[in-house]
Amino acid sequence: MIPVAFEYQRATSVDDAIAKLAASGGGKFIAGGHSLVPLMKLRLSEPAQLIDIARIPGLSGIRASGGRIAIGATTTHYEIAASPLLRDQCPMMAEAATEIGDPQVRNRGTIGGSIAHADPAADFPAVVLALDADIVLKGPTGARTVKASAFFRGFYDVDLGAGELITAIQFAPVKSAGYAKLRQRASHYAVVGVAAALEVSGGVIRSARVGLTGATTHAVRLTSLEAALAGKRADAVAAACAGAANDVADVNADLHASADYRKAMIPVFARRAVERALAR
């Protein structure tokens, strides 16, 4: 399958990328291209120009400073999965990366691309919601930061302005966090995916943040489950998770799973994610 013809330029810096896109008229950024290239081949996306940001120096990499971790936008899923820093300090992030697609996809796909594209069944949106991450953006009018909870707005709809680029994902690492998903057997997309990040002391969950992907138009926080988990010990997690789907409306249905089935799986995978978090 051959996409519509386009022009191609490589950006040498973030500012260069923003300037090139602004000058392109109908251009798009490309990094790993593992969401965009398939869409272009199907001619569902026909950008006149691609600005390649994959090799911008400093835009990839995982850094810790001041108790927070910053993951550069062009860091690949493979690099996240293999990161000793993340495996140690925020294992859920590495665990979720390991479950994305397949090895070839993980070698090319990037976290910035996954979050900007915001496929309703992508894994990272749930993870960055549970981590209460900041999405760091830069555009023609400067840099800004958006909370993950405000970034995902609807079906493939995110708070990313025309000409804006994600530069990094920043968060305070959470050790007691887990990701569990029911994966679609061929694509490994999440039919239902739940990320849970807990604050635990003395065997009691003091607070919880839970992100859900795959089940609705866009990834969302399960705030009533978060409230139900607060103050609970491990033996009360199953009961708290039983109502995980109660406030989830308009559940997706497709050939992989009916809405009822997805709804039934939300508590199951919420419980697995929370138990995984508690085991850390």
Partner 1 sequence: MVPIAITVNGKLRKAHVEPRTLLVHFLREHLNLTGTHVGCDTSQCGACTVLVDGRSAKSCTLFAVQADGSEVTTVEGLAPEGQLHPVQQGFWEEHGLQCGYCTPGMIMSAVNLLKDNPAPSESQIREGIAGNLCRCTGYQHIVTAIQHAARHSGKAAR
- The residues binding partner 1 (CB under 8 A) are 1-8, 10, 30, 33-34, 37-38, 40-41, 50, 52, 54, 78, 101-105, 107-108, 186-188
Minimum CB separation of residue 264 from partner 1 in Å reads 26
Indicate the residue among 43 and 147 with the shorter CB distance to partner 1: 43
Closest approach, Cβ 5 to partner 1, in A, equals 6
- Residue 103 CB, nearest distance to partner 1 (Å)? 5
CB of 3 or CB of 173, closer to partner 1: 3
What pairing do the DSSP bridges indicate for beta strands 134-139 and 27-30? unpaired
Instruction: Please identify, using beta-carbon distances, which residue of 17 and 248 lies nearer to partner 1.
Output: 17
Report the residue number, 43 or 63, with the smaller CB distance to partner 1.
43
Q: State in angstroms the smallest separation of the CB of 37 from partner 1.
A: 5
Minimum CB–partner distance for residue 187 and partner 1 (Å): 7
CB nearer partner 1, residue 37 or residue 259: 37
